[in-house]
Amino acid sequence: MWRDALLVAAKDLRIEMRSRVVANQVLPFAGLTLVLFAFALDADPTVLHATGGGLFWVAVLFATVLAVQRSVGVESSNGEAGEGLRMAGIDPAGIFLGKSAAIGAQLIALEAVLTIAVAILYHLRIQGVAILAAAAILGTAGLAAAGTIYGALSASSRVRETLLPLLFLPVVAPVLLSAARAWQLALAGHPGPGAAWLRFLGMFAVVYMVTGTLAYESIMEDG
Amino acid sequence: MTTQKVALRSVGIASVVGTGLTVWLGLWVTPPDRFMGNLVRLVYIHPGVAWVAFLAFGVTAVASALYLWKRTRDLRWDRLAGASAEVGVVFTGLTLVSGSLWGRPTWGVWWTWDPLLTTTSLLFLLYLGYLTLRKASAGPDVRARRCSVAALVAVVDVPIVHFSVLWWRSLHQPPTVLNPTLTPEIHGQMAWTLLLGFVSLSLAYAWMTAMRYRNAALEDAHETQWLAEALAERRAEGGVSPLPTPVPAEASSR
pLDDT at A79: 55
**A111 or B228: whose pLDDT is higher?**
A111
Q: Residue A191: is its pLDDT beyond 80?
A: no
Q: Are A223 and A80 in contact (CB under 8 A)?
A: yes
Contacts of B160 in chain A (CB under 8 A): 174, 203-204, 207
Contacts of B34 (CB under 8 A, 6+ apart): none
Searching chain A, which residue's CA lies closest to the CA of residue B154? A171
Q: What's the CA gap between A72 and A160, in Å, rounded? A: 10
Residue B244: band (very low, low, confident or very high) from pLDDT cuts 50, 70, 90: low
pLDDT at B190: 81
- Taking residues B248-254, what's their average pLDDT? 46
pLDDT at B252: 43
Q: Please give the radius of gyration of chain A, using alpha carbons only, rounded to the nearest integer.
A: 18
pLDDT at A146: 94
Residue B201: band (very low, low, confident or very high) from pLDDT cuts 50, 70, 90: very high
pLDDT at B188: 73
Instruction: Give the least confident one: A59-63, A87-91, A95-99, A172-176.
Output: A87-91
Residue A106: band (very low, low, confident or very high) from pLDDT cuts 50, 70, 90: very high
**B153 or B248: whose pLDDT is higher?**
B153
pLDDT at B93: 95
pLDDT at B248: 52
Contacts of B1 (CB under 8 A, 6+ apart): B9
What's the pLDDT tens digit per position in A86-105? 777 788 889 999 999 999 99
Q: Which residues pair with B33 in a beta bridge?
A: B37
Helix (H) or strand (E) holding A2: helix A2-19
- Mutation site for B-interface testing, chosen from A181, A185, A197, A222 by largest number of B Cβ within 10 Å: A222
HEC profile of A70-134? HHHHHHHCCCCHHHHHHHCCCCHHHHHHHHHHHHHHHHHHHHHHHHHHHHHHCCCCCCCHHHHHH
Q: For a pLDDT cut of 90, what percent of chain B falls above it?
A: 35
**A14 or A80: whose pLDDT is higher?**
A14
What's the pLDDT tens digit per position in B24-62? 888 888 877 777 777 778 888 888 999 999 999 999 999
Q: Residue B116: is its pLDDT beyond 60?
A: yes
Chain-centroid distance of CA A179 in Å reads 12
Question: Which phi and psi angles does A158 have, rounded to 5°?
Answer: -65, -25
The mean predicted confidence, pLDDT, of chain B is 83
Nearest to A137 by CA among A98, A108, A100, A180: A108
Q: Are the beta carbons of B153 and A178 separated by less than 8 Å?
A: no
Nearest to B81 by CA among B186, B72, A168: B72
- Taking residues A175-179, what's their average pLDDT? 92
SS3 content of chain A, % helix, strand, coil (to 5): 85, 0, 15
Q: How many domains does chain A have?
A: 1
pLDDT at A143: 96
- Taking residues B210-238, what's their average pLDDT? 87
pLDDT at B246: 55
Q: Are the beta carbons of B129 and A204 separated by less than 8 Å?
A: no
Residue numbers of the domain that contains A18: 2-220
What value of ipTM does the predicted structure carry?
Answer: 0.85
- Taking residues A35-39, what's their average pLDDT? 93
pLDDT at B254: 41
What's the pLDDT tens digit per position in B142-167? 889 889 999 998 888 888 887 887 77
Q: Residue B183: is its pLDDT beyond 80?
A: no
For chain B, report the end-to-end CA distance as a whole number of angstroms.
Answer: 15
Searching chain B, which residue's CA lies closest to the CA of residue A158? B136
Number of residue pairs across A and B with CB atoms under 8 Å?
A: 80
Q: Are B85 and B53 in contact (CB under 8 A)?
A: no
The mean predicted confidence, pLDDT, of chain A is 88
Write the DSSP string, chain B.
--HHHHHHHHHHHHHHHHHHHHHHIIIIISPPBTTTBGGGGGGGTHHHHHHHHHHHHHHHHHHHHHHHSGGG--HHHHHHHHHHHHHHHHHHHHHHHHHHHHHHHHHSSS----HHHHHHHHHHHHHHHHHHHHHHS-SHHHHHHHHHHHHHHHHHHHHHHHHHHHHH---PPPPSTT-TT------HHHHHHHHHHHHHHHHHHHHHHHHHHHHHHHHHHHHHHHHHHHHHHHHHHTTPPPPPPPPPHHHHH-
Could you tell me if A218 lies within 8 Å of chain B, comparing CB atoms?
yes
**B117 or A210: whose pLDDT is higher?**
A210
Amino acid identity at B155: V
What secondary structure letter does DSSP report for A189? T
